[in-house]
Structure 1
Amino acid sequence: MNLTQPRLRLLSILSVIVLVIGGMSYALFRHSGAPQDEGFVAGEINEGGLEDIGTLALPEVEKRLNYLLQDTGQTLRSLELVSDAQLSLSIETSESAGEQSLQYEPLFVPFTSAQLKAELATIQGLRFAQRLFADGSEARLDTSSLDPLWKRAGTPDEPVAERYLPQRLRFRDGSEKAFAELKAPPEIESDDMIASHDAFLIDVNKPLASIGLTVAYRSYPAFRKVQLDKDQPKVTLDDGQSFQLTALGDASASVRLSTPKSSTFVVQGLDGTGKALYSNGSSSRTFPSESDIAALQDYYQALQQTKDDLKQLKTGQAVQQQLERLTEALVAQVGPLKNTEVGYQFEATPQRIVIHVLEPLEDNSVEFGQVDNVLAPQARYIALDRGTERYGFIDEAGQWLTKPRWVQIQDSLMADAYTLFSAAKPSDPESDGQALRSQFAYFPAGGNKLVDLPFEYIAEALSDGLLLVERETNGPYGLYDARKHRFILPMKFVNPTVAGKVFIARLGKRTDLMEGLYGAYSLEGKEILPAQFSGIEHSEGYLYASSADRTRQDVYNLDGKRINPEGYNTSGRFVGQQPLLVQEVKSKKFAFINRQGARLPIKLPYDEVEPFSNGMAVVGRDGSYGAIDLAGRLKVPLEYDRLNAFQTRYAAATRAGGGSALVLISQDNKLFKKLGSYTSMKVPDNGNEARYYVRGPGDSDEYLVYDADGNLVKEGG
């Protein structure tokens, strides 16, 4: 049976709770002497509570008492329908889900009010962003650094509902004002995407420097933690609180609790490792205690006595006063604890149940004396005139410096430079009626008149005010000095890269056209290599360039001097202290050179030589392969059909006559591990990130993946 709203008001007076689940009232006690059905008909009752009985005439007072008697009697009769339950722990065993299929939820580790206050005291760097209008402004707080604290201060289902209250506002022009003195203009509306406590509106459009902020919140002053398992299914605390595990198994658990009425509890099921299992469903039922029901019975008798004394009381006000006195006395009889049964479904059967009982929430607040504006001090600020829906620039006092006339203004990587968008003119042949035209402009020092810039995009901000800039989409690039407003390198390059202190690009006007050759330049604009190469790469202070016809590969230092000897092509790169491999064009003979270009006394009587990788170079003769060290000694004999570049410790190889059987060997040719028949591999030079793909066992389509140290990292099909 469902309880009506007036009955709920009555029961709340006595701190009695009857929770209705599935349309059936639920309680756990039988009490003799419950009143019989009062038998009142519709004309004999006046539905309502105690709060207005004093305003009624005596006939209506009697009807109200009839209603209260009937209301209380129905509750007592519903409680008589059930009996005391004898509890014991029932355990069901079933196989739990595998570890990999389980889901987990964060372990609840709450903060007390004192802990939260201490954590909040350590928070620094709160900031806000201000949006400026012609007639006001909006500030949006960035409170993300507080979110982890609020999460631990609340419960998993009910996070803390904190409120942010601005106090003192400090403006860029040096003035200050209390937030309470300001009001938001009614025509300014907050962005719907921002929660109400994350934004506040004021009727002043001056740029803010910082604000003083009070954060009001509610937190739990303390908590009790209880753990239940099959070996300890029941715990009773010294204040009468009790906790009993009544069922455990089949991926579920049931618990009966007796906890303070004003408290909150959180239940989690933990696996054997202490992780909280994901709960995919729960139910709870709360019911009155013995003392609650006794108080309700006494209240029923008081109502009956008041009705019998109605002639002596004479007025509705006297009746109300008597009932209020009786109610106050009965409240003292009501017990402090509530009884609750909870049941949870988990991903697997938990090993133990952990219950946190949190004391009633209390009001708290914290002061943040200085919350800074994310926008740095500037000579001018972007502002919106909401009347015309156009943007312009204001000074720190909120006065227009440049009248609003742009549809949109965007900041850039260059100080005092902006992309300005305006509506395309109807006569513009490229306009579709809704298109925007853009211009890139800056304010010269000391002036408020915009000057157009000869490019549209800043691709990258480099050091010392240098900018890599682009004229338009797919257009040419140049190098621009934003401090002196001059080009270091003109806009005649495409496909640029800036590596260290070197600018590498090819001559051309369009990135989507293959034209021009590559050159290299210093960031001061000095030519290092002329634009006559098919490609240039920078590595560890050297430039590796391919000739226009791709027949020559040379290495240069950053002064543009060629390092490799005349008539030799390079292969590989200088890495650490390892020499560079070169090959004479005419004789095809190999040699190694140092960083000054001198040939090293390493004899190379081989048909094939690879660059050094991790101190070893693969060499080959007549289809057999081995490896030499930095001194040229043959450390791995020429006995392999295949030998890959050495990683940090090992190289992958196939032995002569061994087919595709892959093994890992050390730098002194010792067998480390047999991997199996390989299908493919990825082997970088001078690294340790190799991956070897090996066929799985039998005739299956599965494969195994090993890393450079022979560890199995993946199995797949």
Structure 2
Amino acid sequence: MNFTQPRLRLLSILSVALLVVGCASFYWLRHGGAPVDEGFGAEELNEGGIEDISALAPSEVQKRLNYLIQDTGETLRSLERLSDVQLSLTHSTSEPAGEQPLQYESLFVPYTSAQLKAELASIQGLRFAQRLFADGSEVRLDTSTLDPLWKRAAMPDEPTAEQYLPQRLVFRDGSEKTFAEFKAPPKVESEDMIASHDAFALAVNKPLASLGLTVAYRSYPAFRKVVLDKDQPKVTLDGQSFQLMALGDGSASVRLSTPKLSTFVVQGLDDKGRALYSNGNSSRAFPSDGDIAALHDYYNALLQTKDDFKQLKTGQAVQQQLERLSEALAAQAGPLKNTEVDYRFEATPQRIVIHVLDPMEDYTVEFTQVDNVLAAQARYIALDRKAERYGFIDQTGQWLIKPRWVQVQDTQVADTYTLFFPEKPSDPESQWQALRSQLAYFPAGSNKLVDLPFEHITEALSDGLLLVERETNGPYGLYDARHHRFVLPMKFVNPTVTDSLFIARIGKRTDLMEGLYGAYTLDGKEILPTQFSGIEHSAGLLYASSADRSREDVFDLEGRRINLQGYNVIGRFAGQQPLLVQDTKSRKFAFIDRQGARLPIKLPYDEVTPFSNGMAVVGRDGSYGAIDLAGRLRVPLDYDQINAFQTRYAAAIRAGGGTSLVLISQENKLFKELGSYTSMKVPENGNEARYYVRDRNNIDEYLVYDADGNLVQNDE
């Protein structure tokens, strides 16, 4: 049904939009019946509204009046043609076909204006970034802490409408100005307000310290929350009504009667309270009985105006009369709007939640101090946009070093920068220009840059110490940026810095396997010489493998070997548990404490594993058990296999048990039978084991159990 422009204007007064789809239609009480066709011919009509009637000739005024009468009559006749719909709830339990995982939306939990105001009052630490140029600057606000609040203050997927107005500007040199005084002229005409993602320009290049900010925003003063389901399909609150019309087959239909200027959000929730993903919706709005009664009265008043046309005498009098009728129509129409909405979901929801939001209102919030992310400095990077070169300015915006670099970047170290120069191409006809970088710093009290003898700062450590690299894949060293000297020369590769240690191997290239590992303190003292194939720092100790990988020893952080001479380390110290070692000649096992003393634990076994959660698995002649920290055999040698104990249990296979996995306690009590295993992941001294077991009901599938025997996954 196509409406002409005047009819749309008329229906907007009633907040009515009509859509007839299939057999979905509505019925309203007849208020004296719909008018018959007025029978006007095209030559008797002047299409238009009421706003320009006073400018028309008398004959055209009458034609315009005819048009308004016919337009209103057609609207009433359209409403009359709509038929009734059954208002009983339709409920279906069948689900859409398919086993795809369901998608969910975020639950809509709106803020009222009062809640939003309270949240905004608690916001601290707003910041901005400033780019400095030769002829001005650009400021970009960081609104990441505010954005979640705006989302709660708006409907889902609704773009935020907040705007930001800078106020007082405080500069690094101590001066203050208003934003209006230094605002750069816009490229296009615009208001002072800016959107959160926009940057605003200043006509001055002085570094800012902070600024004041006014934020204008819109939010809902209040809302109503209504829950509908098959047991409670209809709710009425203060004249507003909410009715669930249909529920099933992955869809729901609701009929609402809500205030005309309000908005609403509908979500379908599953049995766990999660919002199901909506595949789309369609809506139909229709007038109330009061709206139609008002439209009938308006139609009759138009007919009376036609009868009184001669008494009105002028077009201006007719226009004034029609304006009064329109105002009366708007006043007489009911305050509620009727809407029916069909929603499609990936599954049938258990209940429908409706939020009805009051009309949005305008608010503002003041942030008196928004800080510059760039800390106060002796000098600042600035760009000459005409020359496309970077230099350094002071806090008043004056050049300290005039622009000469293609790019200048901050580093992790104060007063240290990466400078980029253009390199001459090897091919004079080449259009591509390579860049060369150089690290440089400003000595204290100087504005002259000094080059640094390395290309990359890999990591900034404590107290001004830097892990640096000479070139890509090149050697590393430790550099003291406070005193500008090397603590360790650049002759190491594959470095690891942990706590107070530097572990690396001698070499010139990281992509070549050369040299052996050593360990040093961060002040350059050698702990272990460079004679090991690998060194690991763990819990305050160093585990080092010999150059030929035949032996592993453990050292303290002074470089003293802890394990006994002639014994090889197996595993790691964990908590207060002893460390397992093995005599390299006799192959006998022993346990030592953290001081290296051998513990009086007898080990008459062929196999011993490190302690895990207070138990060590032992074996003799292919049978396995487990001992406790005192060396007592708590689990007898009755198993074909025992894995490392987790916090409470160990996975084991009883003698003759094939691949049937069980969980046993430290007291050798059977806790659970898991079944025939396919694989497992069992860390030491943890509780994160995973056991993959054949499904008894389907041998082509397997179940996954955790360390406590809980089913955590069923892989298809």
Judged with a 3 Å threshold, the aligned counterparts in structure 2 of structure 1 residues 682 and 235 are, in CA distance, closer, same or farther, namely: closer
Aligned to 1:322: 321
Displacement of 1:524 in angstroms is: 0.6
Partner of 2:604: 605
Residue matched to 2:58: 58
- Relative distance call for 1:326 and 1:622 in structure 2 (3 A) is closer
Q: Which amino acid aligns with 2:575?
A: G
Matched with 2:182 is 182
Contact 1:150 1:159 in 2 (8 A): no
Deviation at 1:24? 11
Residue pairs, 1:75-474, within 5 angstroms: 75-83=75-83, 87-95=87-95, 101-186=101-186, 197-238=197-238, 240-427=239-426, 433-474=432-473
Measured after TM superposition, the shift of residue 518 of structure 1 is 0.8
Paired residue secondary structure (2:332): coil
How does the TM-score come out when normalised to structure 1?
0.92
Contact conserved, 2:24 with 2:85, CA < 8 A, in 1?
A: no
23-32 vs 653-662, greater mean Cα deviation:
23-32
| 1:523 corresponds to | 522
CA offsets per residue over residues 236-256 of structure 1, 9 Å max, x none? 333x32233333333333232
- Give the secondary structure class of the aligned counterpart of 2:149: helix
The answer on whether the counterparts of 1:2 and 1:20 sit within 8 Å (CA) in structure 2 is no
Worse overlay, 138-147 or 359-368:
138-147
Q: How does 1:559-578 map to 2 (within 5 A)?
A: 559-578=558-577
SS across alignment from 1:144:
coil
Counterpart contact for 1:271–1:351, Cα < 8 Å:
yes
Q: CA deviation at 1:346?
A: 2.8
SS in 1 for 2:60: helix
Equivalent residues of 1:18, 1:26 under 8 A apart: no
Shift of 1:449: 1.6
Q: Name the counterpart of 1:688.
A: 687
The separation in 2 between residues aligned to 1:543 and 1:690, in whole angstroms, is: 27
Deviations 1:489-508 (A, max 9, x none): 01100011112211110000
- What is the CA–CA distance in structure 1 between the aligned matches of 2:343 and 2:164, rounded to whole Å? 36
Is the alpha carbon distance of 1:442 and 1:47 closer, same or farther for their aligned partners in structure 2, counting shifts above 3 Å? Answer: same
- The CA distance in 2 between the partners of 1:286 and 1:364, in whole Å, is 30
Quick check: 2:95–2:250 contact (8 Å CA) kept in 1?
no
1:659 aligns to what?
658
For 1:636, the aligned partner's letter is V
Structure 1 residue runs without a partner (length 5+)? none
CA distance 1:474–1:332, change in 2 (3 Å):
same
Per the alignment, do residues 101 and 184 of structure 1 end up closer, same or farther by CA in structure 2, a change over 3 Å counting? same
Superposed CA deviations along residues 220-250 of structure 1, whole A, max 9, x for unmatched, are: 2122333333343333333x32233333333
Higher deviation after alignment, 609-618 or 98-107 = 98-107
Taking the aligned partners of 1:404 and 1:69, their CA distance within structure 2 comes to 75
Equivalent AA in structure 2 for residue 328 of structure 1 = E
Find the aligned partners of 1:87 and 1:625 in 2 and give their Cα distance. 74
Distance change in 2, residues 1:354/1:710 (3 Å): closer
CA distance in 1, matches of 2:544, 2:118: 60
Call closer, same or farther: CA 1:429–1:663 in 2, change over 3 Å: farther
Distance in structure 2 (CA, Å) of the matches to 1:340 and 1:396: 61
Matches within 5 A, 1:623-662: 623-662=622-661
Larger CA deviation: 254-263 vs 14-23: 14-23
Contact conserved, 2:126 with 2:143, CA < 8 A, in 1? yes
TM-score using structure 2 length: 0.92
Secondary structure, in 3 states, of the residue corresponding to 2:71?
A: helix
* Aligned-partner SS, 1:141: strand
Cα distance, 1:467–1:660 mapped onto 2, change above 3 Å: same
What amino acid maps onto 2:535 in structure 1? I
**Is the 8 Å Cα contact of residues 163 and 215 (structure 1) preserved in structure 2?**
yes
1: CA distance, partners of 2:188 / 2:376: 25
The one-letter code sitting in structure 2 at the alignment partner of 1:319 is V
Q: 8 Å contact 1:424–1:431 — kept in the other structure?
A: no
AA of the residue aligned to 1:617: A
Q: How much has 1:189 moved relative to structure 2?
A: 13
Q: Is contact 2:95–2:248 with CA below 8 Å preserved after alignment?
A: no
Between 1:694-703 and 1:208-217, the stretch displaced more is 694-703
* Residue 413 (structure 1) shift: 1.4
Task: Answer yes or no: is 1:3 the counterpart of 2:3.
Answer: yes
Superposed CA deviations along residues 488-536 of structure 1, whole A, max 9, x for unmatched, are: 1011000111122111100000001111111110001001111111111
2-structure distance, mates of 1:55, 1:430: 73
- Matches of 1:608 and 1:248, distance apart in 2: 66
1:101 Cα deviation (Å)? 4.1
The one-letter code matched in structure 2 to 1:125 is G
Could you tell me how far apart the structure 2 residues matched to 1:292 and 1:557 are?
88
My pick for the range that moved more, 120-129 or 660-669, is: 660-669
Letter of the aligned partner of 1:169 in structure 2?
Answer: L
> Structure 2, unaligned stretches of length 5 or more?
none
- SS, match of residue 700 in structure 1: strand
Q: Which moved more, 1:546-555 or 1:299-308?
A: 299-308
Label 1:489 to 1:4 Cα distance change in 2 as closer, same or farther (>3 A): same
Question: Cα distance, 1:469 vs. partner?
Answer: 1.0
Contact 1:165/1:214 (8 A) holds in 2: yes
**Cα distance between partner residues in 2 of 1:606 and 1:44:** 114
Identity %: 79
Q: Which moved more, 1:445-454 or 1:244-253?
A: 244-253
> For structure 1, which segment, 29-38 or 569-578, has the greater mean C-alpha deviation from structure 2 after superposition?
29-38
Per-residue deviation, residues 43-72 of structure 1 (Å, max 9, x unmatched):
433322122222223233233223222322
Q: Which residue of 2 aligns with 1:512?
A: 511
Partners of 2:229 and 2:69 in 1: CA distance: 45
Tell me which moved more, 168-177 or 40-49. Answer: 40-49
RMSD across aligned positions (CA): 2.9
C-alpha spacing 1:702/1:76, structure 2 compared with 1 (3 Å): closer
Range moving further from structure 2, 522-531 or 394-403: 394-403
Q: Report the alpha carbon displacement of residue 586 of structure 1 after superposing the two structures with TM.
A: 2.9
- Say if 1:249 and 1:349, in contact at 8 Å, map to a contact too: yes
CA distance in structure 2 between the aligned counterparts of 1:351 and 1:551, rounded to whole angstroms: 65
Q: Is the 8 A contact 1:518 1:533 kept in 2?
A: yes
Secondary structure at 2:146 match in 1: helix
Does the 8 A contact of 1:408 with 1:421 survive in 2?
A: yes
Moved more, 636-645 or 483-492: 636-645
Give the Cα–Cα distance (whole angstroms) in 2 for the partners of residues 174 and 352 of structure 1: 60
In 1, the alpha carbon distance for the partners of 2:196 and 2:628 equals 69
User: Quick one: distance in 2 between partners of 1:595 and 1:16?
Assistant: 82
Q: Do the aligned partners of 1:31 and 1:80 also contact (CA within 8 Å) in 2? A: no
Q: How far did 1:195 drift? A: 5.8
Structure 1 match to 2:68: 68
Distance 1:272 1:587, change over 3 A: closer
* Stretch of structure 1 that moved more, 181-190 or 267-276: 181-190
Compared CA separation, residues 399 and 18, structure 1 to 2 (3 A)? same
Mapped to 1, the partners of 2:543 and 2:486 lie a distance apart of 27
The code of the aligned residue for 1:345 comes to R
Q: Give the drift of 1:702.
A: 2.3
Structure 1 window deviating more from structure 2 (305-314 vs 403-412): it is 305-314
Q: 1:124: how far off?
A: 1.8
The offset of 1:22, in angstroms, is 5.8
Secondary structure of the corresponding residue to residue 62 of structure 2: helix
**Residue type of the alignment partner of 1:454:** P
| Residue identity in the other structure for 1:355 | I
Q: Secondary structure at the match of 2:487?
A: strand
Shift in Å at residue 476 of structure 1?
0.4
* Contact 1:251/1:350, CA 8 A, preserved across alignment: yes
Matching of residue 580 in structure 1 with residue 612 in structure 2: no
Amino acid at match of 2:88: S
